[in-house]
Amino acid sequence: MSGIVRQPRMILSTQGLTSAGKTYFALKDTPRPALLLDFDYGAEGLPEDVLEGVDIAQYDLLAGTFKGESDARREQIIREETERFLADYRAAIDQAKYRLIVVDTASVLWSGLRLRYDKNYAAAEEVMHSLIRAAYKSTTNLTLIHHMTTVWARNKDGKSYKNHGVYERTGMEGVDNKVQLAIEQRWVEPIMGPDGSVVAAGRFEARVLKCRDNKPLEGAVIETPDWQTLCTMAAPSVDWSK
């Protein structure tokens, strides 16, 4: 019986609040050519060098897209945009044209799929699972970007309130268990001295939530993370510089 061959690709999920550097991380010094499947206009404002070698396809599934539309028109937009995304994604995987696919964000995609399948979560989950399975069968790297939102809690009177400072990923549940590497990104504000001088510079950080190939890495915090470094830490046997 032959052993399992490790495909030279990384399937990664990243999550974080706004301005945590998620899209920048996903595209800066990552494999080329790359395809950005963009629901969130995340590429706007990125430096030109970060977008070099990146093809971009945009889809209109943000909530504001449906404002003022009839139910029938809303359903049509959701159906057309989700089907266009699925066709583009599957073609990119099948044709092996790109070394990296970035979905920005998988949170918005998940919302669109739930609406597309009339809140049939099982059907929406099966589509998401099929996208990840297709990547596993390929040599195409895949990065799924997720938003985070404040967790709602209940007080002793049973009233709901936003538990500020506590956040959770938005999107399909259990995605961390489907990918090879899951991280959470954040921006750490600079520390200022009493005289206004910078005591410690601001920085981006990534905390490893899940690592299929290197379990001891889980919980590690990496300062100023980049894709190649994280992939090398997660799977040292693969040459990620190629």
* CATH code of 93's domain: 3.40.50
pTM equals 0.91
Res. 2: pLDDT tops 50: no
Residues contacting 80, CB < 8 A, separation 6+: none
Residue 52: per-residue pLDDT: 97
Give domain status of residue 235, yes or no.
no
For the chain, state the CA radius of gyration. Answer: 19
pLDDT at 1 over 50: no
Please report where in the chains the tokens 């005591």 appear, as a residue: 199
pLDDT in tens, 190-234: 989 999 898 888 999 999 999 999 999 999 999 999 999 999 999
In a domain, 160, yes or no: yes
Low-confidence winner among 14-18, 162-166, 181-185 (lowest mean pLDDT): 162-166
In terms of C-beta density within 10 A (0-12 exposed, 13-18 middle, 19 or more buried), how is residue 45 classed? exposed
CA 190 – CA 199 distance, rounded (Å) = 7
Instruction: Give the contacts of 4 (CB within 8 A, at least 6 positions apart).
Output: none
> Domain for residue 239, yes or no?
no
pLDDT of residue 65: 73
Q: Dihedrals φ, ψ of 148, to 5°?
A: -125, 155
Percent of the chain with pLDDT over 90: 73
Q: What pLDDT sits at residue 95?
A: 95
**151/117: higher pLDDT:** 117
Arithmetic mean of pLDDT, 143-165: 79
Q: In this model, does residue 13 exceed pLDDT 80?
A: yes
Task: Please write the tens of the pLDDT for every residue from 80-113.
Answer: 999 999 999 999 999 999 999 999 999 999 999 9
* Angstrom distances, CA of residue 134 to CA of 95, 108, 175, 195, 210: 12, 20, 15, 55, 20
The DSSP string of 103-139 is: EETHHHHHHHHHHHTTT-HHHHHHHHHHHHHHHHTSS
pLDDT score of 68: 82
Tokens of 235: 């799977």
pLDDT of the residue at 222? 97
Mean pLDDT of the chain: 91
Residue 199 vs residue 21, higher pLDDT? 21
Residue 68 is assigned to a structural domain of this protein: yes
When pLDDT is averaged across residues 117-134 and rounded to a whole number, the result is 95
Please report which confidence band the pLDDT of residue 176 belongs to, taking 50, 70 and 90 as the band edges: very high
Q: What distance separates the 2 farthest-apart alpha carbons in the chain?
A: 68
Model pLDDT, residue 235:
94
Give the span between the Cα atoms of 78 and 145, in whole angstroms.
Answer: 20
Reading the block at residue 71, the tokens are 């139910």
> Does a structural domain hold residue 233?
no
Q: Is residue 4 part of a domain?
A: no
Is the pLDDT confidence value at 157 over 80?
A: no
Residue 162, pLDDT score: 65
Domain carrying residue 121: 11-182
What kind and span of H or E run contains 26? helix 22-27
Q: Is residue 238 part of a domain?
A: no
Instruction: Pick the range with the lowest mean pLDDT from 11-15, 76-80, 165-169.
Output: 165-169
- The verdict on residue 122 lying in a domain is yes
- At which residue do the structure tokens 């974080």 appear? 16
User: What is the rounded end-to-end Cα distance, in angstroms, of the chain?
Assistant: 30
Looking at residues 62-85, what average pLDDT do you find? 86
Per-residue confidence (pLDDT) for residue 23, from 0 to 100: 97
**Number of domains into which the chain is organized:** 1
